[in-house]
Amino acid sequence: MRRLVLKMSISLDGYVAGPNGEADWMFRHRDEAGHRWVEDTLWQAGLHVMGSRSYFAMAGYWPTSSDSLAVPMNEIPKAIFTRQASLNRDALAKDSPSARSWAEAAVINGDLATELARLKQQPGKDILAQGGAGFAQSLVASGLIDEYRLVVHPVVLGQGMPLFPPLPKPLDLQLRSTTLFRSGSMAQVFWPA
């Protein structure tokens, strides 16, 4: 059974993006060790899952990027969760750049929790979710996340898009590891308690 891992960058006050989706703040606090940590996380995945907005943003960047993260981002298969019935593999092939894993992404229109549970039952490496506040909140609400990999950046946004949605009860987490980077960012890995 595969694990579902949520990897997100987050501000000290719990936001994953500014009020208009701004994410430039997370790139100001990167260093080589942090970059390697992210790359290691990517290579542990056998499947990337994301929402359609994140898909189109990433598909427009990674296929032509020279960043070392581009290799795992372009090689690892993708699955896109969307409520858009018109989004299908033919539309992706037409709208996606040349990287094969982007154009051949699976498009999933079904119930998020049901489809994720199905994907988790398949053999293989971890399922990695990253990017998109709304998609991340839906994953949190599903209760199917096996590991949270949060890169906490030394910035307070004051407002924006929170990682965690309103929850009916507290979500207890168990800290598994902490890695502090020279940039002041800190990677924290949590498991549900």
Using one digit for the tens of pLDDT, what is the confidence trace for 81-126?
988 765 555 555 555 555 667 878 888 988 999 999 999 999 999 9
pTM score, two decimals? 0.91
Q: Which two tokens stand for residue 141?
A: 């609400």
Q: Are 38 and 72 in contact (CB under 8 A)?
A: no
Which domains does the chain possess?
Answer: 4-164 (3.40.430.10)
Exposed e or buried b per residue across 146-157, where buried means at least 16 C-beta atoms within 10 angstroms of its C-beta:
ebbbbbbbebeb
| pLDDT tens, position by position, 27-70 | 888 899 999 999 999 999 999 999 988 988 888 889 999 999 99
| pLDDT tens, position by position, 136-165 | 999 999 999 999 999 999 999 999 999 999
Q: Is 175 exposed, middle or buried (0-12, 13-18, 19+ CB in 10 A)?
A: exposed
User: What was the pLDDT predicted at 96?
Assistant: 53
User: What was the pLDDT predicted at 85?
Assistant: 62
Here the contacts of 173-182 (C-beta below 8 Å, separation 24 or greater) are 173/148, 176/147, 179/33, 179/37, 181/31, 181/33, 181/34, 181/37, 182/31, 182/33
Cα–Cα distance for residue pair 89/27, rounded to 1 Å: 31
User: What was the pLDDT predicted at 90?
Assistant: 57
User: What was the pLDDT predicted at 89?
Assistant: 54
Answer whether residue 184 shows pLDDT above 80.
yes
* Sign of the CA dihedral with 186 first, then 46, 54, and 170 last: negative
3-state helix, strand and coil shares in percent for the chain, rounded to the nearest 5 = 35, 30, 40
Better pLDDT: 14 or 89: 14
Q: What percent of the chain has pLDDT over 70?
A: 92
SS3 state at 183: coil
